[in-house]
Amino acid sequence: MIEAGARAPDFTLPDQDGNPVALGDFSGGKLVLAFYPLDFSPVCTDQLSIYQEVLGEIEDRGASLVGVSIDSAYCHRAFREQLNLTIPLLADFHPKGGMSRGYGAYQEDFGTDNRSLVLVGEDGVVRWSHAESSVKDIPGANLIFDALDAS
Protein backbone atom coordinates (compact mmCIF):
# COMPACT_ATOMS: atom_id res chain seq x y z
CA MET A 1 0.00 0.00 0.00
CA ILE A 2 1.27 3.47 -0.81
CA GLU A 3 2.68 5.27 2.22
CA ALA A 4 1.94 8.70 3.61
CA GLY A 5 4.39 11.27 2.27
CA ALA A 6 4.60 9.74 -1.21
CA ARG A 7 3.54 11.77 -4.22
CA ALA A 8 0.20 10.40 -5.43
CA PRO A 9 0.67 8.68 -8.81
CA ASP A 10 -1.03 10.57 -11.61
CA PHE A 11 -3.97 8.89 -13.31
CA THR A 12 -6.69 9.45 -15.85
CA LEU A 13 -9.51 6.91 -15.81
CA PRO A 14 -13.01 6.84 -17.28
CA ASP A 15 -15.88 7.31 -14.87
CA GLN A 16 -19.19 5.46 -15.04
CA ASP A 17 -20.23 7.63 -18.00
CA GLY A 18 -16.97 7.22 -19.90
CA ASN A 19 -15.74 10.72 -19.03
CA PRO A 20 -12.03 11.01 -18.23
CA VAL A 21 -11.25 11.81 -14.60
CA ALA A 22 -7.69 12.76 -13.65
CA LEU A 23 -5.90 13.26 -10.35
CA GLY A 24 -5.35 16.88 -11.41
CA ASP A 25 -9.11 17.44 -11.45
CA PHE A 26 -8.95 17.40 -7.65
CA SER A 27 -5.91 19.65 -7.13
CA GLY A 28 -6.46 22.21 -4.42
CA GLY A 29 -8.79 19.85 -2.57
CA LYS A 30 -8.52 16.61 -0.65
CA LEU A 31 -9.35 13.35 -2.41
CA VAL A 32 -10.32 10.04 -0.85
CA LEU A 33 -9.76 7.07 -3.15
CA ALA A 34 -11.88 4.10 -2.08
CA PHE A 35 -10.56 0.95 -3.75
CA TYR A 36 -12.84 -2.07 -3.81
CA PRO A 37 -12.78 -5.48 -5.55
CA LEU A 38 -15.92 -5.72 -7.72
CA ASP A 39 -19.25 -4.09 -8.44
CA PHE A 40 -22.33 -6.05 -7.34
CA SER A 41 -20.56 -8.24 -4.78
CA PRO A 42 -22.35 -8.22 -1.41
CA VAL A 43 -19.54 -6.66 0.64
CA CYS A 44 -18.72 -4.05 -2.04
CA THR A 45 -22.40 -3.16 -2.21
CA ASP A 46 -22.38 -2.56 1.56
CA GLN A 47 -19.11 -0.61 1.39
CA LEU A 48 -20.25 1.84 -1.28
CA SER A 49 -23.69 2.20 0.32
CA ILE A 50 -22.05 3.22 3.62
CA TYR A 51 -19.84 5.77 1.88
CA GLN A 52 -22.84 7.18 0.03
CA GLU A 53 -24.63 7.68 3.35
CA VAL A 54 -21.76 9.79 4.71
CA LEU A 55 -20.73 11.50 1.47
CA GLY A 56 -22.15 14.85 2.61
CA GLU A 57 -20.05 14.73 5.78
CA ILE A 58 -16.93 13.90 3.75
CA GLU A 59 -17.62 16.82 1.42
CA ASP A 60 -18.26 19.10 4.44
CA ARG A 61 -14.69 18.32 5.49
CA GLY A 62 -13.43 19.62 2.14
CA ALA A 63 -12.85 16.30 0.42
CA SER A 64 -14.09 14.48 -2.65
CA LEU A 65 -14.55 10.72 -2.65
CA VAL A 66 -14.31 8.40 -5.65
CA GLY A 67 -14.56 4.64 -5.89
CA VAL A 68 -12.04 2.66 -7.94
CA SER A 69 -12.22 -0.93 -9.14
CA ILE A 70 -11.17 -2.99 -12.14
CA ASP A 71 -14.73 -3.15 -13.48
CA SER A 72 -15.68 -1.42 -16.73
CA ALA A 73 -17.43 1.95 -16.97
CA TYR A 74 -20.57 0.12 -18.17
CA CYS A 75 -20.59 -2.08 -15.09
CA HIS A 76 -20.01 0.96 -12.86
CA ARG A 77 -22.98 2.77 -14.43
CA ALA A 78 -25.32 -0.16 -13.72
CA PHE A 79 -23.95 -0.52 -10.17
CA ARG A 80 -24.47 3.20 -9.43
CA GLU A 81 -28.00 3.07 -10.79
CA GLN A 82 -28.91 0.00 -8.75
CA LEU A 83 -27.62 1.54 -5.51
CA ASN A 84 -28.65 5.15 -6.28
CA LEU A 85 -25.04 6.25 -5.79
CA THR A 86 -23.76 9.72 -6.60
CA ILE A 87 -20.15 8.78 -5.84
CA PRO A 88 -18.12 8.75 -9.06
CA LEU A 89 -16.79 5.27 -9.87
CA LEU A 90 -13.56 5.05 -11.85
CA ALA A 91 -12.87 2.12 -14.15
CA ASP A 92 -9.33 0.79 -13.79
CA PHE A 93 -10.24 -1.68 -16.50
CA HIS A 94 -7.49 -1.40 -19.13
CA PRO A 95 -4.74 -1.99 -18.54
CA LYS A 96 -6.36 -3.97 -15.77
CA GLY A 97 -5.43 -2.49 -12.42
CA GLY A 98 -2.87 -0.11 -13.92
CA MET A 99 -3.73 2.82 -11.67
CA SER A 100 -4.40 0.62 -8.64
CA ARG A 101 -0.95 -0.94 -8.91
CA GLY A 102 0.59 2.52 -8.55
CA TYR A 103 -1.22 2.96 -5.25
CA GLY A 104 -0.45 -0.57 -4.04
CA ALA A 105 -4.12 -1.52 -4.11
CA TYR A 106 -4.06 -4.27 -6.76
CA GLN A 107 -4.00 -7.92 -5.69
CA GLU A 108 -2.13 -9.90 -8.32
CA ASP A 109 -3.24 -13.24 -6.87
CA PHE A 110 -6.93 -12.38 -7.25
CA GLY A 111 -6.92 -9.98 -10.20
CA THR A 112 -8.91 -7.36 -8.27
CA ASP A 113 -8.26 -4.38 -6.03
CA ASN A 114 -8.05 -4.88 -2.32
CA ARG A 115 -10.39 -3.05 -0.01
CA SER A 116 -8.42 0.08 0.84
CA LEU A 117 -8.51 3.85 1.26
CA VAL A 118 -6.04 6.57 0.29
CA LEU A 119 -6.25 10.23 1.26
CA VAL A 120 -4.49 12.59 -1.14
CA GLY A 121 -3.87 16.13 0.12
CA GLU A 122 -4.44 19.39 -1.71
CA ASP A 123 -0.80 19.32 -2.86
CA GLY A 124 -0.99 15.83 -4.43
CA VAL A 125 0.86 14.12 -1.59
CA VAL A 126 -0.58 11.04 0.11
CA ARG A 127 -1.56 11.96 3.66
CA TRP A 128 -2.84 8.56 4.83
CA SER A 129 -3.62 5.08 3.56
CA HIS A 130 -5.29 1.99 4.93
CA ALA A 131 -5.72 -1.53 3.57
CA GLU A 132 -7.94 -4.19 5.07
CA SER A 133 -6.32 -7.57 5.67
CA SER A 134 -9.44 -9.38 4.47
CA VAL A 135 -11.70 -8.57 1.52
CA LYS A 136 -14.61 -9.45 3.80
CA ASP A 137 -13.89 -6.43 6.04
CA ILE A 138 -15.10 -2.95 5.14
CA PRO A 139 -12.91 0.03 6.02
CA GLY A 140 -15.37 2.04 8.08
CA ALA A 141 -16.31 5.64 7.43
CA ASN A 142 -14.82 6.50 10.82
CA LEU A 143 -11.37 5.83 9.32
CA ILE A 144 -12.06 8.40 6.60
CA PHE A 145 -13.27 10.98 9.13
CA ASP A 146 -10.26 10.41 11.40
CA ALA A 147 -7.85 10.81 8.46
CA LEU A 148 -9.59 13.97 7.23
CA ASP A 149 -9.65 15.48 10.71
CA ALA A 150 -5.93 14.74 11.19
CA SER A 151 -4.85 16.20 7.85
The residues that are catalytic are 44
101 touches 91 (CB < 8 A): no
Q: Residue 150: beta bridge partners?
A: none
- In this structure, the chain runs to a length of 151
Strand pairing class (112-113; 106-107): antiparallel
Angle at the Cα of 123 from the Cα atoms of 102 and 93, rounded to 5 degrees: 30
Q: Where are the alpha helices (DSSP H) in the chain?
A: 42-53, 55-60, 73-83, 98-102, 141-150
Burial of 144 (0-12, 13-18, 19+ CB in 10 A): buried
Strands of the sheet containing 63-69, edge to edge, are: 89-91, 63-69, 30-35, 116-120, 126-131
